[in-house]
């Protein structure tokens, strides 16, 4: 039975991912977050484990990796944290990594939306180019998710994927859809997602900016 470590388990995407994993799979989940015990509530104590820690806490991070088959990282902003995670995964022979990052880190966003997106998150793109490179330079079996602008809509789990050499496909995507994609990647045994950087958007949203701006 697979065990998944969710780093940043109190994050918004994680809040949708955890119940979907419990419902759709038989995986065990470790929920790692700063002050996890006060911020998170367990619904299935037989399958969920809470871990209080941050990404600079080397001992706790290493302990959390014990018995883990795959890691999902909810936020790839900080290069030191990402390097600590790579180190802990290597030390514990954990190979599969899924990381949520932002659109634009491969200069793949085109047209008017590109100008709008850069004007909104240029500093975020610069930071996440560095963290993505650290992952891609590692020997991990990674899947990077370059996410369109995020919003919430229950029941909308529609997503569309683009590859590294393709223009980005749309402006927005729901957190529910991203959570479903992560479940789909974790459940896949074909390795079609291995060492890939994927653009993630909702179909038919190829506009100048997201609908909620």
User: Is residue 70 within a helix (H) or strand (E), and if so which, with residue range?
Assistant: strand 70-73
pLDDT at position 150, please? 98
- The confidence score (pLDDT) of residue 11 equals 97
pLDDT in tens, the chain (213 residues): 899 999 999 999 999 999 999 999 999 999 999 999 999 999 999 999 999 999 999 999 999 999 999 999 999 999 999 999 999 999 999 999 999 999 999 999 999 999 999 999 999 999 999 999 999 999 999 999 999 999 999 999 999 999 999 999 999 999 999 999 999 999 999 999 999 999 999 999 999 999 999
CB 112 within 8 A of CB 85: no
What number of residues does the chain have?
213
| 53 closest CA partner among 24, 85, 93, 27 | 85
Helix (H) or strand (E) holding 71: strand 70-73
Domain parsing of the chain, residue ranges: 3-201
Backbone φ and ψ of 122, nearest 5°: -60, -45
CATH code for the part of the protein at 3-201: 3.40.50.720
pTM for the structure as a whole: 0.97
Per-residue confidence (pLDDT) for residue 182, from 0 to 100? 98
Q: Provide the pLDDT for residue 18.
A: 98
What pLDDT does residue 124 have?
96
The CA distance from 21 to 35, in Å, is 22
State the pLDDT at residue 84: 98
């Amino acid at each position: 039975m697979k065990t998944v470590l969710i780093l940043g388990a109190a994050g918004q995407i994680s809040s949708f991912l955890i119940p979907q994993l419990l419902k759709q799979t038989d995986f065990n989940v470790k929920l790692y977050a700063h002050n996890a015990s006060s911020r998170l509530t367990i619904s299935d104590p037989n399958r969920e484990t809470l871990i209080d820690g941050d990404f600079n806490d080397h001992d706790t991070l290493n302990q959390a990796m014990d018995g883990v088959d795959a890691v999902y990282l909810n936020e790839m902003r900080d290069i030191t944290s990402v390097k600590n995670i790579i180190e802990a995964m290597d030390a514990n022979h954990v190979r599969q990594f899924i990381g949520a990052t932002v659109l634009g880190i491969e200069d793949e966003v085109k047209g008017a939306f590109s100008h709008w997106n850069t004007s909104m998150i240029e500093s975020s793109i610069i930071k996440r180019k560095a963290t993505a490179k650290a992952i891609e330079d590692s020997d991990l079996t990674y899947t990077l998710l370059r996410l369109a602008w995020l919003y919430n809509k229950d029941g909308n789990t529609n997503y569309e994927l683009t590859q590294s050499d393709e223009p980005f496909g749309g402006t927005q995507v729901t957190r529910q859809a991203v959570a479903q994609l992560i479940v789909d990647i974790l459940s896949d045994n074909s390795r079609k997602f291995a060492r890939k950087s994927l653009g993630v958007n909702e179909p038919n949203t190829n506009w100048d900016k997201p609908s909620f701006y």
